[in-house]
Structure 1
């Protein structure tokens, strides 16, 4: 995808994460009313892409961060420009959500013009599905913004299948479904960032709902996918590894040879950084490194934060085979498995 500006790149993120129209067939508003609201939101994101100057006073030459970890790449001006466009789009989304709840919202000139261009000159008569999506029980701003009408449907599956590679993704999905994994639309409702993510998780590990992403507080095996518009390759799929790598590295000898190769290609070698013992005031604690034997050699591997290493911006059949092998191996360590 080619962009004429940073602002256009950011606007495209909302288009990319908007799912296909799938209504709630049994909702309190009609399917046609839901389609009307869906069309309105789709036109809003397309307008932001086509005419970003309606949202911000200035556009800037296209640029992006190489990875999601922006701190490792100092581009303060880029970050400022990203946030200006993001905040402008999300400010109008927030206003629309509150308007749907009946709040007295004071729109600025830009927001008024944008809504007018979308055919919303009379804001005392907003679409029925707009009001419903803003007021229904358990409503969220993310579900409103992306028209997640049917609460029993996981919308993000098709989004990330399309982005990451339809055929290999469906192969991975088929294996996970056949092994009891469950899909979830996951998004932040405490600090709303309008990012829709997918998680497929094995509920055998925990009754808790999976956490966001694949890096922290992982309690289930599975995968997590997300889209970060500010990254050069914005879609990413990560492997969810409960408890870190320690129990699996300790059983490295039990892995099949291809899985051992895969593990060694991804896990960080211990370089003595001492992060794992930084809180040890006695100076006696051993490094967390785990020694594994492979083809007559011994390797010291770090068990910490594997989510950073087991993450990809595209997938193919060969990678899916490795992911399946690792999921299958980890599932042999389900707590209290009978």
Structure 2
């Protein structure tokens, strides 16, 4: 699309060569094939007037290069080199062309699949925004929960892949509320037992939605269990302690903290310091104590205060510092 070729997959090439190779259409053998859209068999590169002065690997003497095409459009090339001249025949060219045809279809289908998943994910995020738009008290909730969750994950030393799963789960954790009646979600008084039972189904509804995206399979357990309690008295499945997925334990702290510092029709918001106190009091019962402690430490870091000011702006909250006693060292809290 940019009129440039880069190496996406190769064998027999160094990592440095793969990273450094950038060819414009028309440049070199692969660029020539991409520009012309025609296959090329070169028995002896040193004797081909088009490429004999080409800067290339000295051990490559012959080449087969075939365009990858979809609906007449070149999307890449398949290149095969040989260390001896006259190694390739027209039969080899036909075989490589056949492989290239199949490869082009596979690449195209993979791109379509990725685009569909991205579209579906964007749609789900739009649903979340629509839910939050219905209730001014929860507007921005998913974004703030994402900020809190990632801060905890970083403090606990989680990997990039785990961080990405937590980011996605935090953004989508309440998408199941799409299936909950608006009059229940926006009720200004306490919920009845039956209504609370309906609300408790939103993680299950969310998993049914998210499981339509195969690439998000690792996110589903985090979303499904973000209302479990460390003491086993939560839902959906009453999991206890480390039976609860790590991402779900992180999300549970972030979700509860944002709920505590947010104004609701039936109660006032807690202050920043009061919410930290609640996290500490409920560590070991509602929350994983290691994670609750890590989050309290993060909240008290000056550099995180600026992030909080932006995250809390819509809720009209003031970020205040609070002194606490360090209960564990950062090293003791690291999760590998």
| TM-score with structure 2 setting the length | 0.27
- Give the structure with the higher percent helix: 2
Larger Rg: 2
Higher relative contact order (CA 8 A, sep 6+): 1
